[in-house]
Chains A and B, each alone.
Chain A
């Protein structure tokens, strides 16, 4: 892992959503996450899921958790879920967030 990426997070640099970015596909067992700069302040989550009744709340809370871990405070999230597992949801949200922040110093592994 490059040293500068560690420094960024160690300094607590807040990830700022600068543009709209997408991660994921609309394939079965995937989730397509579109992250845009928030308009209202705070995290807004718009979820459409094939498993809404069983896992809608779990997916929303995972999205919220990942953004909180990344210290994203202001964003609009549009998620189209086709039954993705929790690990997939985490990966897609994280990738979309990095892309939206024009940040390619990905912090892989662990949950920070």
Chain B
């Protein structure tokens, strides 16, 4: 068979053509094994973690990434770091989408030099405490979920090897947070943060305890993004990965806050059929949904889409027909994970789709309303969700600044005081979300509206809600708890807090004891 290539008009336009076909050049023999045999001998399927690490080409000083969909039940990070330490790796940059209490063994890898520095959304427990007290030479970089997506997309955070735990995966790398092929008692629902890493990391290793037949559809991570698949006996503790159904709060303060928050939404000018919302997982946020539900039914209003970290409370509304669609970057409980598996209008999305500022149509920009929590809010409406009132790191940025910036009405809910700790203060310890993106602060003792939103203030006053100034809230809090002594710090920077555009919005210093 011989083709006259020169007869193709404008041949110079087709520079990528491979010339004439010939059987001789197609040296790949036809694979005549069964699908079952092919799966068993998939080249991506490696024997163990050692082999996957060696094949990935990981070297000292490189950047490795992890996701936090397993929350407090995660075994992956500690397992992989112990292996990397055993194999003698040094100076690694650990870029996790977030870290929790269960990751305290990282302290040893920091001390021994296996980990040079850390990037994360948050830190908790012993590790957070040690880092706040100067454990690391190089400060931790804190990023929001949207900010991390942007840093990955812009190349500021270049991931060499991603180690991604998955509750199900086939031999060719189609991975997900659940499986229709039967699960092993572990499911995490959405793999939104892992999707991002899988797409951009140079090498991607899926670590699973549940190797299922090809194709593991629907998948969160497609095989085209995956280089190696490792099967291990255990990837996490189901009890820590997923809480059961979240119980409805009985705390009267939270109920009062929730009732106010629901009324704020209803009177915000953004309560219409098809409106969009995101709710946090705190007691007051969950209760807000309940109060809102009654008025949605009364006024025949449905939510167009609900976004974010998804809880069972939002899923209930979907199943009732009060929410049309759910966009899910992270499933907070089993109810949410099961809904993602079973309901086709419950869609899994990546961190970038959720919140990246480099994506103008990003879902957070389509939000009418978001309800957010806070450890502290100051009189400039700046919010801290990262450091405790004692200056020690104890939280995570999450999607706080992303949703606050994107939503038309961003509402922060918080009790005026927690025990003796005031929530409304003169200056927050750490600015995570700038005040210009916060519209309303709802407390049990009153509601403050950002002076930049006189439209909202007028609406809430007309609705006879207890509107006051943020300064009145601050002085009310101080009257109850007294004047707090300032926290003392050394001049050593232990944390760099970035805003979603990768700029630096605040610094965290070592706490002085």
Contact = CB atoms under 8 A, between A and B. Distances in A.
Interface in A66-107: 82-86
Given A53-B391, A54-B390, A55-B482, A83 B487 contact: no
A57 B485 contact: yes
A21 B275 CA distance: 60
Nearest to A49: B420
B484 A54 contact: yes
Given A53-B390, A54-B390, A55-B482, A82 B419 contact: yes
Counting chain A CB atoms within 10 Å of each CB, which of B390, B420, B480, B487 scores highest? B420
A29 B484 CA distance: 16
A29 B485 contact: no
A111 interface: no
Contacts of B481: 55, 85-86
B485 A83 contact: no
Contacts of A54: 389-390, 420-421, 484-485, 487
B487 A51 contact: no
Nearest to A54: B484
A55 B485 contact: yes
A69 B53 CA distance: 70
- How many B residues are at the interface, by size bracket? 10 to 19
Contacts of A51: 389-390, 419-421, 484
A26 interface: no
Contacts of B488: 53
Chain A interface residue number, banded: 10 to 19
A83 to B, nearest CB: 3
A1 to B, nearest CB: 29
Nearest to B512: A53
B283 to A, nearest CB: 15
Contacts of A29: 419-420
A110 to B, nearest CB: 19
Interface string A45-56: 000001101111
B419 A83 contact: yes
A8 interface: no
A55 B484 CA distance: 6
A50 B392 CA distance: 13
A6 interface: no
A21 B100 CA distance: 41
Interface string B463-485: 00000000000000000111111
A56 B485 CA distance: 9
Interface string A1-45: 000000000000000000000000000110000000000000000
Contacts of A53: 390-391, 485, 487-488
Nearest to A81: B420
Contacts of B390: 51, 53-54
A83 B388 CA distance: 14
Contacts of B419: 28-29, 50-51, 82-84
A62 to B, nearest CB: 9
Nearest to A84: B420
Contacts of A56: 485
Contacts of B418: 83
A50 B488 CA distance: 16
A83 B422 CA distance: 11
B166 to A, nearest CB: 39
A43 to B, nearest CB: 21
10 contacts: A28-B419, A29-B419, A51-B421, A54-B421, A55-B481, A55-B484, A57-B485, A58-B485, A82-B419, A85-B481
Interface of B: 389-391, 418-421, 480-485, 487-488
Q: Which 4 residue pairs of A and B lie closest in terms of their CB atoms, listed nearest first? A: A83-B419, A54-B484, A83-B420, A29-B419
Given A54-B390, A82-B419, A83-B419, 16 more contacts: A50-B419, A51-B389, A51-B420, A51-B421, A53-B390, A53-B391, A53-B485, A53-B488, A54-B484, A54-B485, A55-B481, A55-B482, A56-B485, A57-B485, A84-B420, A85-B420
